[in-house]
Structure 1
Amino acid sequence: MNSISNKAAIVGVGVSGFSKDSGRTELRMTCECIKAALDDAGLVPLDIDGIVKHTDDASDEHSVTSSMGMGNLTYFGESRWDSAPCSMVLRAAIGVATGVANYVVLYRAVNGSSRRRMMPSMRASGQMSTSDLLQWTYHAPFGLMSEAGRVAMIVRRYMHEYGINSDQFGWVTTVCREHGAKNPNGMFYNEPITIKDYLESKVIVDPLRVMDCHEEADSAVALVVATVERAKNLRQKPVYILGATQSQLSETEEKNSYYRPVISGLPEMGHMGKRLFAMAGVGPKDIKVAQLDDSYAPLVPMQLEELGFCGRGEGVAFCEGGDRIRVGGELALNTSGGSLGEGYLYGMNHVVEAVRQIGGTSTAQVKDADLVLVATGAGGPASGLILGGSR
């Protein structure tokens, strides 16, 4: 279970800005970010012998490797679902820790707002799997078409069981926008909001408001992972992968796991968290900074409960007022702004922000941030990382 702990490190990062229209194809953004990540690490394309991508990414590995001149691959793989960001790092770490590769690049590029593409998505609607189509058969005829709608059903049950008022979720968005307002790379730079702004935002699918939901963006990220031994000789101080785990249970579906005894929790996140803390040899009290899946604001307090930062039904109270979750508080959350305050890249920007925090370069820096937890995939298959500045 701890075979890759402390055996791999993130050694380079490249990230584009977040915008409504990048003016570039996803392939071009991918290549620009990979070049930036290689420059950050002090490497060149021919050093790369491994690549990991998201299954649905429109920039396939063939186009990327030929465009970048990375002609020496011995290891390649994919991850899917919203848990992919952390699981992509896990796959890269496995590659270098086992000696199959020396340097692995992982990337994600999405023109989620402008839809400006070199080619169509690798998984268009006509390529949906039988299991995907089966889920749609049960839900779509009754109007449950959107992801927000599926999440709203889970949140409504959570509110019912714990006596929560939907207005209380607003502190998550308010703090994320507060952090994002300090981030010149994000979509909401210099645009903080107040809780009043949140309460005045439109309800789009009860109980979710517009400001509970992530903002589609054009953006891209690339990371380079190497063994800890090789990392010591590169340009940047290594960010060590202390823990990396995934979880999928028998009843897990993608944000619509309604067919289990309790739908008011995120059990995959809880199961993943236990394994993650055990692998890293730390506990919730050791973590002062966390980058949690905030694709929908109500999922954040639910994750706090599952990961052991507070008790069942106490996540909303933990966030209320914002003081405990902003920089300077008990557990600083989503310090780049996350999906709600920086832009939506399916959680890849959360991994980048964890690296920045450990390197001391965040725009909302937490003092002495030597351990950072990242969680992705709330409401479906879950994955997580604990990154550290020392082994």
Structure 2
Amino acid sequence: MAIAGCAQSAIQRHADSPLGALAVDTARRAIADAGLELGEVDGIVAASMFPTAGSHTVEDGISTVTAAWMAEHLGAAPRYVAGFQGVGQVSGALTLGINAVACGAADYLLFFRALHNPRGSYHGNSTREITGPQQWTAPTGYFGPLAMIALPYTEYLQRYGADREAMAAVLVEARKNGARIPWSHWYRKPLTAQQYLDAPLLADPVCRYDCDIPVDGVAAFVLTSADRARDLRHRPVYISGYAQSSPVPHRLPLHWPLDDIMRGGAETARRLWESAGVGPDEVDLPQLYDGFSPLVWFWLEALGFCPVGEAHRFVQDGRIDSDRPDGLPVLSGGGALGNGRMHGIPQMLECYLQLAGRAGARQRAKATIGVACQSSPHYGGAVVYSAEPF
């Protein structure tokens, strides 16, 4: 299985076009990038979750774009259309596409992800009454994704003697790389460690810059078999393995204990390396998910790039500096913190561009095996890519 082409829209706080129009334009550019005609695309998959805890209307083509909406408006005549619902939106939807091509349900398949930033407060909620399990948490302030990630982050800081100064290295690296990418929201806007440490806390110890910024943006990729991809315009990038997280233990709403994250992450990593037939020591382009900055530490440890409890030390002293020959480039594509809230798309896109030799001035001298992660190690997934078929 291989990726044969891609397109990425500009990542903006609020786009000038409706999300649906932006998605159709990006999809058509991805198909053209692969050297295909619109009519040759016979499959479409997507993950269309609208990631907000606020009181916003979910409207297809406006605040989200489903595979069915795309099939209706793209102008192609696909014979396979599917949307993913479950843990790990990007990796999960990609898995649908991989299996569709593998079993012959589609020959050339469009995979896309469209993200929307509504006007007004992103997580603003007009709810006046809480029922069900959240009645025991929301009234005390334990509500929404900030509280969700602040708890395991606090656990990590206390358990391993880490501090926010160590996290500054993650933010500086993400924003440095995002500032180099023309389509990024943070293009030409790097961040210093002091700016990060001076930012106001939103849910202690999470500050503004620990969170990816909500945006409008779309990315699209064309998937096909390895044999077909070799005859197309660009050098193929091969999909060598993938894994989805197992169901998580039942907890209070949004309760992500650190132990659950790491136990679940270890199982996700075991499945990933078994599926791909490689290990962390063979990966030279790990792209770790960073929708919230602590997730970089969690993924580093879950995937085996450093021992458990050591990620906060590992990220310092240039160890993740993508400009150093000996650095582990975990955020060379800027990630979500360096691009905007595109979920796992920046990680997938960086793996494709680097392994296909299409990263331009950012092209790395060595890029042979990449890993793109999405969401949390215990509540997401990861995909292994390679420049050559295994």
Over residues 161-208 of structure 1, what are the superposed CA-to-partner deviations in whole Å (9 max), with x where a residue is unaligned?
Answer: 111112211110010011111111111112212211111111111011
Which residue does 1:22 correspond to in 2? 15
Shift in alpha-carbon separation, 1:264–1:96, aligned structure 2, 3 A: closer
Q: Distance in 2 between matches of 1:360 and 1:133?
A: 52
Q: 2:47 aligns with which of 48, 54, 60?
A: 54
Q: 1:263 aligns with which of 240, 259, 266?
A: 259
The one-letter amino acid of 2:335's match is G
Asked if the contact 1:276/1:385 (under 8 Å) is kept, the reply is yes
Alignment RMSD: 2.4
Shift in alpha-carbon separation, 1:305–1:254, aligned structure 2, 3 A: farther
Q: Distance in 2 between matches of 1:254 and 1:112?
A: 28
Q: Distance in 1 between matches of 2:132 and 2:42?
A: 38
Shift in alpha-carbon separation, 1:104–1:140, aligned structure 2, 3 A: same
Which residue does 2:240 correspond to in 1? 242
By how many angstroms is 1:113 displaced?
A: 5.4
Q: Distance in 1 between matches of 2:223 and 2:318?
A: 34
Q: Distance in 2 between matches of 1:25 and 1:182?
A: 26
The one-letter amino acid of 2:223's match is V
Which residue does 2:104 correspond to in 1? 99
By how many angstroms is 1:137 displaced?
A: 3.7
The one-letter amino acid of 1:267's match is R
Please say if 1:9 is aligned against 2:2.
yes
Which residue does 2:353 correspond to in 1? 356
* TM-score normalised per structure 1: 0.88
Q: 2:337 aligns with which of 317, 340, 348?
A: 340
The one-letter amino acid of 2:153's match is V
Residue 368 of structure 1 aligns to a residue in which SS?
coil
Q: Distance in 2 between matches of 1:143 and 1:189?
A: 34
Shift in alpha-carbon separation, 1:264–1:54, aligned structure 2, 3 A: closer
The one-letter amino acid of 1:63's match is W
By how many angstroms is 1:136 displaced?
A: 3.1
By how many angstroms is 1:237 displaced?
A: 1.1
By how many angstroms is 1:46 displaced?
A: 1.8
The count of aligned residue pairs is: 368
List alignment gaps of at least 5 residues for structure 1: 1-7, 116-123, 127-131
The one-letter amino acid of 2:93's match is M
Shift in alpha-carbon separation, 1:171–1:253, aligned structure 2, 3 A: farther
Over residues 232-271 of structure 1, what are the superposed CA-to-partner deviations in whole Å (9 max), with x where a residue is unaligned?
Answer: 111111110001111123416799344x7x5374333321
Which residue does 2:58 correspond to in 1? none
By how many angstroms is 1:386 displaced?
A: 0.7
Please say if 1:40 is aligned against 2:37.
no
Which residue does 2:386 correspond to in 1? 388
Asked if the contact 1:97/1:227 (under 8 Å) is kept, the reply is yes
Asked if the contact 1:111/1:219 (under 8 Å) is kept, the reply is yes
Residue 362 of structure 2 aligns to a residue in which SS?
coil
By how many angstroms is 1:380 displaced?
A: 4.8
Q: Distance in 1 between matches of 2:33 and 2:133?
A: 43
Q: Distance in 1 between matches of 2:24 and 2:379?
A: 28
Asked if the contact 1:18/1:186 (under 8 Å) is kept, the reply is yes
Q: Distance in 1 between matches of 2:225 and 2:253?
A: 35
By how many angstroms is 1:327 displaced?
A: 3.2
Please say if 1:277 is aligned against 2:273.
yes
Which residue does 1:87 correspond to in 2? 92
Q: Distance in 2 between matches of 1:298 and 1:365?
A: 27
Q: Distance in 2 between matches of 1:333 and 1:134?
A: 39
Q: Distance in 2 between matches of 1:370 and 1:335?
A: 14
By how many angstroms is 1:18 displaced?
A: 0.8
Which residue does 2:77 correspond to in 1? 71
List alignment gaps of at least 5 residues for structure 2: 51-63
Over residues 36-64 of structure 1, what are the superposed CA-to-partner deviations in whole Å (9 max), with x where a residue is unaligned?
Answer: 11001111222122211114262233332
Residue 333 of structure 1 aligns to a residue in which SS?
coil
Over residues 86-138 of structure 1, what are the superposed CA-to-partner deviations in whole Å (9 max), with x where a residue is unaligned?
Answer: 222211111111112111111111222558xxxxxxxx999xxxxx9755344
Asked if the contact 1:147/1:255 (under 8 Å) is kept, the reply is no
Which residue does 1:204 correspond to in 2? 202
Once structures 1 and 2 are overlaid, which stretch shifts more, 211-220 or 132-141? 132-141
Asked if the contact 2:87/2:245 (under 8 Å) is kept, the reply is no
Over residues 294-344 of structure 1, what are the superposed CA-to-partner deviations in whole Å (9 max), with x where a residue is unaligned?
Answer: 011111111100110010100110101334343323310121211111111
* TM-score normalised per structure 2: 0.88
